[in-house]
Structure 1
Amino acid sequence: MSTTTDMLRTYPKDLGGIDQAALTACIDACFECAQTCTACADACLSEDMVADLTKCIRTNLDCADVCATTGNVLSRHTGYDANLTRAVLEACRAACKTCGDECTQHADMHEHCKTCADACRRCEEACDALLATL
């Protein structure tokens, strides 16, 4: 059982009809993706051909910020706003798709980009799964 599961289970109010398994998976995927994208951007900065990775670095950092924000928003339930949740999830899904596509272009040369692309795809899928329940 994850800490996310524990926190949702012990929340003092009813969470409503939200699919808690999908919510947990999405929160965890968002924070994993944020960390992976940050680490990938840093790894790109250490590459000899850093100038060729400018777009990848920028995309990594944008995705990391959006994923972290999404994870934070999904972790708050007091005064829940379904419209905001949907908008944040759609933005996260878009950022993950963009970053995953960019990192895939470098995956053959940089293993960290492959790892990042995989994390982005998992987060994109988790956002899709949660959106389907809202």
Structure 2
Amino acid sequence: MNKKYEECLKACLECLEACNTCFDACLKEEDLKMMADCIRLDRECADICAFTAQAITRNSPFINEILALCAEICERCAEECAKHDHGHCQRCAESCRRCAEACRQMVA
């Protein structure tokens, strides 16, 4: 694996964990309907972060496209999570922002 991707890989794995934690916690919230978009985006984001981590470790020829998509999905997830006051949503939003930033830096 290329050394320059180390920070980005770490950010992806942390974001994956934050999204899964948020997803699980959102399912336990009172108003599930209100959390639907958050839950959906947590899943999308966790999946793209896992896929991006795979792509980084196998030196995918599509890495720039994957990183760009990961950044976009992370940003959308951060926006949605930031709307909710729950601690898990706020932590997830922060992790998503960090991951989006790390992915953008790799593509730049």
TM-score range with shorter-chain normalisation? over 0.9
- Greater than 2 Å deviation, 4+ residue runs: none
Are positions 1:125 and 2:101 aligned together? yes
Aligned length: 108
Instruction: Mark the runs of 5 or more structure 1 residues left unpaired by the alignment.
Output: 1-7, 9-14
Are positions 1:100 and 2:78 aligned together? yes
Tell me by how many angstroms 1:88 deviates. 0.3
Equivalent residue in structure 2 for 1:88, among 66, 73, 93:
66
Instruction: Mark the runs of 5 or more structure 2 residues left unpaired by the alignment.
Output: none
CA distance in 1, matches of 2:99, 2:29: 26
CA distance in 1, matches of 2:43, 2:11: 16
Identity of aligned residues (%): 39
Equivalent residue in structure 1 for 2:36, among 54, 73, 79:
54
Instruction: Give the alignment's TM-score, normalised by structure 2.
Output: 0.95
Equivalent residue in structure 2 for 1:76, among 58, 65, 85:
58
Equivalent residue in structure 2 for 1:37, among 5, 8, 19:
19
Tell me by how many angstroms 1:50 deviates. 1.4
Tell me by how many angstroms 1:129 deviates. 1.1
Two-structure CA RMSD over aligned residues (Å): 1.1
Mark the structure with the bigger radius of gyration: 1
Which is richer in helix?
A: 2
CA distance in 2, matches of 1:117, 1:58: 14
Q: Higher RCO, 1 or 2 (CA under 8 Å, sep at least 6)?
A: 2
CA distance in 2, matches of 1:38, 1:91: 19
Residue 58 of structure 2 aligns to a residue whose secondary structure is coil
